[in-house]
Structure 1
Amino acid sequence: MLLGCAVHENPQLAAFLPAPNYRVLLPIPSATAAPVHPVVPAPEGLVSSLGTITRNFDGVVGIAITSVDGGWIASANGARKLPQQSVSKLWVAMTVLDAVDQGRIRLDDPLVITRSDFTLFHQPIAALVKGDQGYVSTVGEIMRRALTMSDNTCNDKLLRLVGGPEAVRSFIARNALGPIRFGPGEKLLQANTAGLQWRPEYSMGNSFAVARAQLPRATRVAAFDAYVADPLDGAAPLAIAGALARLKRGELLSPSSTAWLISTMQSSHTGKQRLRGAVPPGWQFGHKTGTGQDLFGRTAGYNDVGILTAPDGRSYALAVMIGDTPRPIPERQRLMQAVVQAIIAQHG
């Protein structure tokens, strides 16, 4: 097998190898047989637009678009693994829904959030936790909050429910989603990016920000650069767009779970001026944003990924990921909106 691979990669080796003493019988396709996986070229205008969009932006950008119905793929720097940040909440949600499909979890199962569940950064559910009894909820509500509000505490609660990072990684691997890493959870990921060792007290108040600010500048820059260069939660835009296309086609979850997840993504409250800012009336859009830490004007991860559906029912899965940039937020948003505008222009 290894020898065959070597010959394939370097045909010149064939001249030095003995002739094989076996025959390979291949079926002869009929004249009308269609290829199993047809190769459909992406619209040239769209490919050109993506190249222009990325070249004219000061930052590390990866873009990928998959036509759910047409089968073509367009990308610019789409194979590079870039920080996902809260985009990774999608894989947690899919892992939970996969467990629902298997009968191990129900969306109406009770789930209680207590102070011990708090993480850091964006966790609006913390305001609902009163006293020692905590906030009594359900798996479905907690997952809806994780997706539509990007609540970190809700997401980490679900992550523990399904078995931790290894369970999510197993879902990604079993479904062959490609180069998508899943990190160690919000606490450890953010501490590592900042150059800190996680401590439980960082979940309360602004203690994490205070500890981070007290670090030497060189320590913070080194940790930030290491994360951007090889993110623990890095994923290729091509892989994310491909996974979303498979979700839309119903290849990853049951019909009911697929419908639940897509409708929940469509009701997301985050990133209204990212990709969604260019979605015209009559089109549907379900998405998940992700935003990383800032350091001296740079941001490690400013993302939006989702499924865009035209009034005629044709859909596109897209991932726009800015891995590292010093440019202000309005410029990042304009880049994302330009991608949506390019898709709509080619749709006709």
Structure 2
Amino acid sequence: MAFAAPASTDLKTALGHIAEQARPGTMGIAVMNVADGRVVKVSGNRSYLMMSAFKAPIAAAVLARVDSGELKLDQRVRLVPGDVVPGSAVPSLGDQLKAGALDVSVEALLRAAVTQSDNTAADALLRLLGGGAVATHFLQSKGIAGMRIDMGERELGQRLNGFRSTEPSPARESALAAEQREKRGFEAVLASKVNTTTLDGAVAFLDKLQSGRLLSTSSTRMLLGMMTAQIIPNRLRSGLPAGFQLADKTGTDVTYQDRLGAWNDMGIITTPDGRRVIVAIFLSDSLATPKQADAWFAEIGRLVAASMH
């Protein structure tokens, strides 16, 4: 089978056209042919808010601790109702914790965080590591620059809502004051560098993962399996032909009024005969509807798959 390298002019032009449609939002796209390392990029000179896409690198940092013997997959982590962070693609740990404290294995937390995008599990894993700085240090130690993890889902959610801490909303806050606070928080997070990645950082993470340069063979297989089983199929995955496989992690920010904060997908596409391409797409501060954003991501999946004829 011939391979039409993703760095081809035709593919870059087509991807650029989709990115133009996303304006006034910014769509960053990177496609790398694993076989020869060639990359095509659109809007690659900035950082993008990862949102839940950061759960894959957090899981990698935890699995590295498993590889070193510092953690065990069957090790139990105590969670209490106060640990619940809203947000999951399916009925989550938060639902289970309504009945009281739980002892959850590290492996179960990993699967919940990556496959189900469970926020409670992600924050528990980050606490287990010792915080975002530890996860970022792991990435840097593996030569992954441009990707940083600063905080968990709870703290980021508070910032998006315009709070500097976990204090509840003021009891007598007016609707106008609440709207202004939420707008400030939304815009401040989008303008910040917290929990962000460059396209190069995302590609480097995925490349080192798929090539076995990030984790042991067993941990690599586990993380790629959890990413392949991700239950959100409506972005890149929905544009791929039958027989193509995708190991990915999506990420989604809240919508403020008509502004879509972040709509992301990053993953490794594998053809039926085993060839691989890495794709990272980060859509920031867009006026698109989620349905339109999904359509763009699916079209990118179709374009990339077509380039692998």
Q: Work out which of the residue numbers 80, 83, 95 in structure 2 matches 1:127.
A: 95
Amino acid at match of 1:249: S
Q: Work out which of the residue numbers 156, 167, 178 in structure 1 matches 2:145.
A: 178
Q: Distance in 2 between matches of 1:211 and 1:242?
A: 45
Distance 1:214 1:154, change over 3 A: farther
> Are positions 1:96 and 2:73 aligned together?
no
> Is there any run of 5+ residues in structure 1 with no aligned partner, and where?
1-39
Provide, for residues 202-236 of structure 1, a one-character-per-residue CA deviation record: whole Å limited to 9, x for no partner: 6xxxx79x989674433332322222122411211
> Are positions 1:163 and 2:130 aligned together?
yes
CA shift for structure 1 position 170: 0.8
What is the match of residue 42 of structure 1?
A: 7
TM-score, reference length from structure 1: 0.81
Q: Distance in 2 between matches of 1:128 and 1:323?
A: 33
Distance 1:149 1:215, change over 3 A: farther
What is the match of residue 343 of structure 1?
A: 304
In the alignment, is the contact (CA less than 8 A) between 2:6 and 2:31 conserved in 1? no
Q: Distance in 2 between matches of 1:196 and 1:300?
A: 17
Distance 1:212 1:233, change over 3 A: farther
Distance 1:116 1:222, change over 3 A: closer
Q: Distance in 1 between matches of 2:45 and 2:60?
A: 22
> Are positions 1:228 and 2:190 aligned together?
yes
Amino acid at match of 2:160: T
SS at match of 1:183: coil
Q: Work out which of the residue numbers 150, 154, 161 in structure 1 matches 2:121.
A: 154
Q: Distance in 1 between matches of 2:136 and 2:174?
A: 29
In the alignment, is the contact (CA less than 8 A) between 2:246 and 2:268 conserved in 1? yes
Provide, for residues 297-318 of structure 1, a one-character-per-residue CA deviation record: whole Å limited to 9, x for no partner: 1121111111110011111111
Q: Distance in 1 between matches of 2:212 and 2:9?
A: 28
What is the match of residue 207 of structure 2?
A: 245
In the alignment, is the contact (CA less than 8 A) between 2:6 and 2:39 conserved in 1? yes
SS at match of 2:307: helix
In the alignment, is the contact (CA less than 8 A) between 2:15 and 2:29 conserved in 1? yes
Q: Distance in 2 between matches of 1:184 and 1:298?
A: 23
Provide, for residues 144-174 of structure 1, a one-character-per-residue CA deviation record: whole Å limited to 9, x for no partner: 0001111100011011111111210111211
Matches within 5 A, 1:1-348: 42-58=7-23, 59-122=25-88, 124-132=92-100, 134-199=101-166, 215-270=177-232, 272-348=233-309
CA shift for structure 1 position 195: 0.7
Q: Distance in 2 between matches of 1:308 and 1:60?
A: 23
CA shift for structure 1 position 68: 1.5
Larger radius of gyration: 1
In the alignment, is the contact (CA less than 8 A) between 1:187 and 1:198 conserved in 2? no
> Is there any run of 5+ residues in structure 2 with no aligned partner, and where?
none
Q: Distance in 2 between matches of 1:213 and 1:308?
A: 45
Distance 1:347 1:112, change over 3 A: same
CA shift for structure 1 position 131: 4.0
Q: Distance in 1 between matches of 2:125 and 2:50?
A: 18
SS at match of 1:347: coil
Amino acid at match of 1:254: S
TM-score, reference length from structure 2: 0.91
Q: Distance in 1 between matches of 2:285 and 2:254?
A: 10
Q: Distance in 2 between matches of 1:212 and 1:236?
A: 38
In the alignment, is the contact (CA less than 8 A) between 1:290 and 1:304 conserved in 2? yes
CA shift for structure 1 position 113: 2.2
Size of the aligned set, in residue pairs, is 301
Distance 1:256 1:221, change over 3 A: same
Q: Distance in 2 between matches of 1:125 and 1:212?
A: 33
Q: Decide which moves more: 317-326 or 117-126.
A: 117-126
CA shift for structure 1 position 136: 2.7
Work out the percentage of aligned pairs sharing the same amino acid: 29
In the alignment, is the contact (CA less than 8 A) between 2:155 and 2:166 conserved in 1? no
